[in-house]
Amino acid sequence: MERSAGILLPVFSLPSPHGIGTLGRKAYDFIDFLAAAGQKWWQILPIGPTGYGDSPYQSFSTYAGNPYFIDLDLLEGEGLLTKEEIARFEPEAPADRIDYQELFQKRFALLRLAARRGLARDRAQLDRFSEQNAWVRDYALFMALKDHFGGAAWSCWPDADIRRHRPQAVERYRKLLEEDCLFYAYLQLLFTRQWDDLHTYARGRGIGIIGDLPIYVAPDSADVWAEPQFFDLDADFLPREVAGVPPDAFSDLGQLWGNPLYNWDRMRADGYGWWIRRVDGAGKRFDRIRIDHFRAFHDYWAIPNGLPDARKGRWKKGPGLELVRILQNWFPQLSFIAEDLGDLNDGVRKLVKDSGWPGMKVMEFAFSPGGEFLPHEHRPNAVCYIGTHDNDTLQGWIDSAGRKERAFAEKYLGTTRRGLFGAVMRSGLSSVCGLFIAQMQDYLGLGSEARINSPGTDSGNWVFRLSPGQCTPALAERLCGLMRLYGRFPYEKKEKKEDAAPAG
């Protein structure tokens, strides 16, 4: 792995005047900041349409893009909206927070205005887009049906035939809800055009995008509704067991995620086609893919559906190296990161090693009792993080860490509490790990108020946003100096080769 660095910042956390980060001007500005700061990578969170709890890990589709990320100013530039229309639907949430309820109430009305104008112009392009992306038709119908049935989860739809995705019912509702189907499909065309333009710009600036592929999909999703045979469901299409993790550092009750588990026997019999299609979709959008909760490829925690917490689950065997090799054979051009955090065993460690994919070393976990991420134990084929989206910011961790944990960190790093922040950052930058990632909040020195997610909690997550003007040229210059100092500047090797080239 090439020695380099990147910054973790969700798309929704970008500043914008429209209530949530988008794929517009501020995203381009952030890419410019990354390039000026000597970064090679922009790591983001899943970009699908959010469902329960507004979590990007509970999306209505593993393929679709979040309509909230469609930039309104770019739509105005296409003549699909006017300034007055945008102003009329502006959210009133604070600039540094996202109000998803207000977005839901206002944004779709505005997008329907844009779609009515755009469909008259882009219908032929939409038809081609839908033909080239088989998931679009099922996703669009799924969303139209949710509207038709008052937002109910698909397992609760009153019509059993459409609940079971029977072909005659599918075609009947596709005709009945044709206008809504076209709307939701068109939103995906708009999203894809804006995403592809942004991605092309990033590549031109030397910035790769690390996308996040959740290990599981949401129970209320087009993915489960359209292909229930690949999930462990009962006769009523409800999960027999659901996903989560046993009690850990985040929660004494474990984490009850509620996602349906896979029917690995059916997937294996099908040649893992579902996973191949899924990774193919992600590979078209990202330059590197982080597989969330990779340990579930080896074994996963299965919790009987209906229990109040995750304590009474059991470990079950995953597909292991068989699926890894299939993905590697199908996608030799793709790079992956294996999120190998949590309560690991020797089997998980062996799977990560055998895969050849880099794992993760998290500095905020390094100094806790039994921590295994101390810098002297790092290796080149790994990614060093200060913290992930599930961790507190570095300043928040310092403020809340236990006395023994913080004292050990100070002793290990040879510093005092006053110097601990800088010492942890420098230790990560100097790590032998090929890639170093820090949250943008840590480069800004922000505290717990800027945390992205607190696992095991149901509110206050996924709402943090940068304020305009925080990513300054002075900060970029300082970071660029750090990247050069620690050998992570992406153009350093190229410049050295050119300097050494013989004259003439």
**Predicted structure pTM score:** 0.95
pLDDT at 336: 98
* Nearest residue to 383 (alpha-carbon basis) of 338, 425, 427: 338
> Is there a contact between 439 and 39 (Cβ–Cβ < 8 Å)?
no
For 365, the token pair is: 């976990």
Is 127 known to be catalytic? no
Q: Which of 180, 212, 339, 364 is catalytic?
A: 339
pLDDT at 169: 98
What is the number of structural domains in the chain? Answer: 1
Residue 452 sits in a domain whose CATH number is 3.20.20.80
Residue 410 has a CB neighbour count (10 Å cut-off) of: 17
Active site annotation includes 339: yes
- Residue whose entry in the numeric block shows the structure tokens 């060093």: 384
Displacement of CA 278 from its chain's centroid (Å): 14
Q: Which domain holds residue 250?
A: 4-500
Containing 360, the helix (H) or strand (E) segment is strand 359-362
Which residues of the chain register pLDDT less than 50?
494-504
Structural contact between residues 189 and 122, judged by C-beta atoms closer than 8 angstroms: yes
Q: What is the pLDDT of residues 134-179, one digit of tens each?
A: 999 999 999 999 999 999 999 999 999 999 999 999 999 999 999 9
pLDDT recorded at residue 492: 59
Enumerate the β-bridge partners of residue 438: 7
| Residues near 266 by beta carbon (within 8 Å), at least 6 away in sequence | 229, 230
**Nearest Cα residue to 21 out of 104, 112, 96, 129:** 96
Give the torsion through C-alpha atoms of 111, 289, 438, 472, to 10 deg: -40
Catalytic one of 292, 364, 392, 442? 292
Q: If you write DSSP's letter for every residue of 144-195 in order, what string do you get?
A: HHHHHTTT--GGG-S-HHHHTT-HHHHHHHHHHTHHHHHHHHHHHHHHHHHH
Spell out the residues 6+ positions from residue 440 whose beta carbon is closer than 8 angstroms to its own.
Answer: 7, 8, 9, 13, 466, 471
Strand partners, 439: 8
The verdict on whether 498 is a catalytic residue reads: no
Which one is catalytic: 96, 102, 270, 390? Answer: 390
Using CA atoms, how far apart are residues 205 and 34, in angstroms rounded to an integer?
Answer: 9
